[in-house]
Every structure is written in structure tokens, then in C-alpha cells.
A and B are shown apart, each in its own frame.
Chain A
């Protein structure tokens, strides 16, 4: 077996040392939200509160994000039509929040369904910070 060259080992060490949440595509989404919100960081705590709360402004069938995504975000959820939903926690589902069009589409739909309005860039960023921290 060939011994890996120094640069390979170095590259591997960098990959292993990178925190889970760091993914260039996800970072770009979060950075764009920071610019829109005019803030330099997001609050996972506020994202958590918003995600787990029961709301009354939206459609009666969907009072909370947890209606479909469940309360254990490392486990999967289920749609109202019974179809399984993959886990939301980035630690168990690293592909999450890496496609900007997908993220935008579902924020628009789900915030409308649950809150009766779109989420602000600050709310979206807080939620992504929360889901990336799990």
C-alpha cells in the first residue's frame, strides 16, 4: 500500500478538524441572510424558540414547525399525508440547507403555513443557526 503523501495527510487533517456545520454552500446561505438581516451573527436560542413554539397566525392544520418535523430533530418527521421527512439536524443529515432554492422554497411555504406570513431574514438565520447546532 502506498503511504499517503504529506499534502494528502494535511488535507485530511483539515477536513477532520472542520466543524460539522461548516459547509461552503450552507455558509453562503447563512452569510447572505446575515447581509439581508444586517447582523453579524444569529441566535440559535431564538431559532429554537421559534421552531418549537405553537403559533396561531397560520393555517389551523399546522400550528408548529414540529407538526411535521417532530420535536426530536435528529429523528425524522412526517407530513400530514403520512410521508416520512428526513431529520432536520445537520449533525445527522449533512446535506441539509445546502441548496439555496430549496431552502427559500420551504421557508416561504412553511412559514406561510405555520405563521401566516413569510419569515424575516433574521428569523430564517436564527432557525438555520439552531438546526446547524443540533
Chain B
């Protein structure tokens, strides 16, 4: 699947400051019986957003301001738990294009990148600033690998795997890249399998 290139993103942030937000919070398992990837945004953080009778709670994610935010700022160790790719699908369908935290779980991190959703691990000082300033408009510049904060918050660089960065900037699909390696894969099989 290819996606829109990701170059810079300017948006207000939505802050979910809890640590260890796991994939069962992002999208509860009972919604995983779906066989397509569309329409999961309304189920994102379902158990935080809806009460027992399915009515909306007053959670920040239900406010109209939240739905304008394309950048999620989350507490330490975001996305831990299962490998469900439904988690980044749900966040993207909700409207997010990036998440910033001080630590992001491996599988979530990999899944996000493969969908054109940028996971950013940033140093503690910047993370704290972001947690303390919800709703500020910030800039994520993937070409420069920088997060620029307003109000003298400063500019912070972040690391992203060069290959993933290339794919994101170009909107390029990893499948094509793998399929192009057909010959070396077949050679490997001839030697080993």
C-alpha cells in the first residue's frame, strides 16, 4: 500500500500523558474481528471515549478541538502490547499523522512507519515541554528531522531510520522494494532452503 508523502506537518497537539498506553487501549481486541482496515477511527480509544451505554464520555478525544489535532503527544512507552496493526490504522483514521513520546514500543513503531504514520521518540526535555503545553501548534519537519516548538520551546532533532525516512518522504511502498529483490531471495533459497 502506498500513502501520501510525509514532509512537514504543522498541527496542534493532543496530549494523552499516561505512561504505557497499550494497544488494547488504542483499540480493544473485541473490534479486531474486522477483515478490512477502514473505519477504525471511531473505535480508537473506545473504552475511554464511550460509556457502558455507548454514549460519548467527556474525554478530551471526543471534543471537536481534538479532532483537528494531527499530532498525538503520549506518555512514556506508547503502543506497548500486541502487534495489531489496527492500532496505527485506528489512530490514522481518527486523524493523527504522528505520535511523539519519550519511548515507543518496537512493533507499534514498525507498524506505524509502514502506514505513513510517523512515530517520534524525543528527548526528555522536549517531551516534558509537550506534555506541559497541550494544544500548541508545533512543526514536525521530516526533511530536517526536527520538531520545532513555539513560544521559545526550542527546536529538537529526532532520529528516524534513513530507509523509513526515505519511504515516508517519497510515499514509497516497502513491498515494491522487497519484490525487486526477487533474484537475491531466490539465490538465497537455492543455497539454503
The answer on A and B forming one complex is no
